[in-house]
Amino acid sequence: MALASRFFSTAIKKSLRIGLIPGDGIGREVLPAAQDAILAVGSSIPKTEFISLDAGFECFTKHGEALPQETVQALKNECDGALFGAVSSPTRKVTGYSSPIVALRKQLDLYANIRPVVAIASPGERGSKVDLIVVRENTECLYVKQEQLITTSEGVKATATRVITKEASRRIGKMAFELALGRPRKHLTIIHKSNVLSVTDGLFRETIRGIPLSDKQYTEVTVAEQIVDSAVYRLFREPEIYDVLVAPNLYGDILSDAAAALVGSLGIVPSVNAGDKFVMGEPVHGSAPDIAGQKKANPLAAIRSAALMLRYMGYPDGADRIDNAVNEVLRRGEILTPDLGGTSTTEEVTNEVVKRI
């Protein structure tokens, strides 16, 4: 997975400290697999210590807070990077609860959610032409969570504030241009809905389009744009047209999950939440309460997220070893979890990847 490691210091360290936040549901089952994969690469990375940290809905039900300040402070002051498992955010309103992963992204200024979606398939198979990265702005849009319920004489009305800033749009745009520069096609597609949301999406679109005018290094990148609804349609019809996509928070979330359907499962799609000084790996899938505890969870997305984290921290050799092992397991197709049509357990798939590392 050829992603540029241009965002963090690559100074060699004698040891690494990685925060582990399993969260809820299958997060607790797949994060140990990511830990095993990191330990398996041995001398390709510095000696690694893991720090167990708490967050999630179960944490909220036990302690009254979904994201303890102790977790935030440990990440800021003690950790070189982190891995997050999954969180069970209820669909109903729960007084006092707010998603810890959304809060972590803001508190650590992890403004980019980078989601590579790559097919490991034979030519001609569905999804075999998929090789793209969704770069999702991580701190604003509707995820600022400014909602209110208003009762008037005319009835009940719910409103939500959507925030798009020039500053956030510019820095996510620069991250996307950097990624595009590191890929063979050097192609970037801006995703928006400025035909309807002309002020907010208009600002996002115009800001990113203007980046090469002031930063000449990005003129090598070909820039296109796509309305979000037609982008989803073309993603399923012509996935090969996309290379790097940059999108506001909500669109990026939807597009990357849709792209996962083309490569077999959410269970193999990784991501990192990246800022200028810190990175946190996170599998794209959720907590999957329907299969939690059944040993069916696919660990590959978490393992790939660990590789992405290492890559962005400046350890491409270790990342390559993990990615190559995962790709070989997928190509062989002999030891896979049920979401990919197999019968193997989480542990069996993890052991197979570790063996190949």
Which of the residues are catalytic?
Answer: 143, 193, 229, 253, 257
Count of helices and strands (H, E) across the chain: 12, 12
- Please say whether the beta carbons of 235 and 247 come within 8 A: no
Question: For residue 297, which of 253, 327, 338 has the smallest C-alpha distance?
Answer: 338
- Please say whether the beta carbons of 293 and 24 come within 8 A: no
- Please say whether the beta carbons of 251 and 137 come within 8 A: no
Measure the CA–CA gap between 26 and 292, rounded to whole angstroms: 5
Measure the CA–CA gap between 269 and 267, rounded to whole angstroms: 6
Q: Is 341 left (phi over 0), alpha (psi -120 to 50) or beta?
A: left
Q: Record the tokens describing residue 193, joined without a space.
A: 């809905």
Residue 153: partners with Cβ closer than 8 Å, 6 or more residues away: none
Question: For residue 192, which of 124, 252, 129 has the smallest C-alpha distance?
Answer: 252
Q: Record the tokens describing residue 52, joined without a space.
A: 């167990």
Residue that the structure tokens 């400014």 belong to: 146
Measure the CA–CA gap between 217 and 300, rounded to whole angstroms: 35
Report helix, strand or coil for 150: strand
